[in-house]
Amino acid sequence: MSNHLICLEKHMFFAALLNRVLVIPSSKVDFEFKRVLDVEHINKCLGREVIVTYEEFAERRKSHLHIDRVICYFSQPQPCFMDEERVKKLKSLGVSTNKLETAWDEDVKKPKKRTVQDVVAKFSTDDDVIAIGDVFFADVEKDWVMQPGGPISHKCKTLIEPSRLIMLTAQRFVQTFLGDNFIALHFRRHGFLKFCNAKKPSCFYPVPQAADCINRVIERANSPVIYLSTDAAESETGLLQSLVVFNGKTVPLVKRPARNSAEKWDALLYRHGLEGDSQVEAMLDKTICAMASVFIGSSGSTFTDDILRLRKDWGSASLCDEYLCQGELPNFIADDE
């Protein structure tokens, strides 16, 4: 989901540079943004319509659902990352496209630094409806794109933020379980061992070492409880819980509990049919982490990066925020396969 939000932010930037309205893809083809984001919030912040859903676009276009030009930002390993499955999904919606064309020779593994002038020169066109393909790896005006609040001038703290229902649910969870002084920990584990060990240095830490690093943050932050956002197995979180200690007492690691009708903190999601949606739950985790007094993230994770973005934009960032075991090497690293 975090990767999709990065793409959304970059596509919004491209649309702004080209003075165009951005159409969010249909959930039948792509990610269902409206379940986790407040699209109207974006338009209100900018004071004009800059984003429309695919459904709104289709209603306005009636039977003429045609993309006049598809200009690919990346040419390698394949133009636009447009595989046959994506083309079939577009056709099933009645969307037709012209032949793919590439703006330049650009490899996702070695993206070149591009400027606003480069983008405007290559993607400006009088065609009515255009698409520019996948831009996740695009390196365009990085400092501008990553500035607090986002790359587009607006009147809000941030443009891309959780929906109102998710915000309220996160607040209710914090009021129920955590209070105003808690540490949030994004403890990424699933698939991370291989990912981290391919990096130099590795970012995957043995649980006891991770616990030592967390304990040092607890000592500085003096927080009584930790919110745990993780995909780790119980065997790992159970060991971690036994080792997270402050002043001789175990510091509770709190995870979101399973649905219980006796608890009302998640009633809004349940009433609106959002309960059990993995996208919504991921955004809820992010929102709770963004509200924490202190945040410990996982280096190399775009999920962590998006939490840091929200904390920066909302003004909730702390001097104690850091990546898990920041500046340390894992004290044991397995051999490669």
CATH code of domain 164-323: 3.40.50.11350
**pLDDT at position 90:** 82
**Span 98-157, pLDDT tens digits:** 889 999 999 999 999 999 999 999 999 999 999 998 899 999 999 998 888 889 999 999
**pLDDT at position 184:** 98
- Give the whole-angstrom CA distance, residue 266 versus residue 172: 8
Contacts of residue 236, Cβ cutoff 8 Å, sequence gap at least 6 = 189, 207
**pLDDT at position 87:** 79
- Give the whole-angstrom CA distance, residue 183 versus residue 222: 9
- Give the whole-angstrom CA distance, residue 133 versus residue 147: 24
Q: Which two tokens stand for residue 233?
A: 């197995």
**pLDDT at position 31:** 79
With beta carbons less than 8 A apart as the criterion, state whether 51 and 42 touch: yes
Regarding pTM above 0.85, the answer is yes
Return the domain boundaries, the chain. Answer: 2-145, 164-323
**pLDDT at position 84:** 79
Q: Which residue ranges in the chain fall short of pLDDT 50?
A: none
- Give the whole-angstrom CA distance, residue 278 versus residue 325: 28
**pLDDT at position 103:** 95
